[in-house]
Chains A and B, each alone.
Chain A
């Protein structure tokens, strides 16, 4: 299974954009890039996923490098409720198996 590398922690100020990076240099052609987040004392929550093109939804945007070896999750205006651990995960189409790493712990300052 392909591996992802994320910074252990990041800080942001409230109402500012946040760019969370993820490196996945061994990604295969069929791997989707998924982002989940986990708020304190809750189960993980789906954020966004993509294959090759940039993606937008109501929660975030996903920017995927042209060579697909890295991606960036963009929160356009961080709020205190966005403080969470963000996981970048690669997954093929076989049953949706997710292998979680350590993730990036995002803290948001008022």
Chain B
């Protein structure tokens, strides 16, 4: 079974530029998550999708961040414009509910550096 795929793996941009990250979840997983992980910290949830609906985006900075999950499969996370503080690893995860529990499977992440 293929895992969660993310691209690109690394991205270096200058501040004020836009950037986008792409995620392909595990086939059959209805729930998709985007996390941000700052250096030395645990991941923080940005947004959670159930199929194509964003059901928890309370931690997404909506002034510059946007996300979409068209057709309930792949997802894109965008930052426009990027700021220096956005440098972090952006992780995508997917899950499906089994016996009342969501076990999340994470992709390798995209490491973003904003100069």
Contacts and interface: CB of A to CB of B under 8 A. Distances in A.
A43 B55 CA distance: 23
A102 B100 contact: no
A95 B109 contact: no
A101 B55 contact: no
B101 A43 contact: no
B80 interface: no
A97 B93 contact: no
Interface residues of B, number: 25
B108 A100 contact: no
B43 A100 contact: yes
Contacts of A59: none
Q: Bin the interface of chain A by size.
A: 20 to 34
Interface in A92-107: 93, 95-103
A100 B77 CA distance: 21
24 contacts: A42-B108, A43-B4, A43-B91, A43-B108, A43-B109, A44-B43, A44-B91, A44-B93, A44-B104, A44-B106, A49-B103, A85-B42, A91-B101, A95-B31, A95-B50, A96-B31, A96-B97, A96-B101, A96-B102, A97-B45, A97-B48, A98-B43, A100-B43, A103-B42
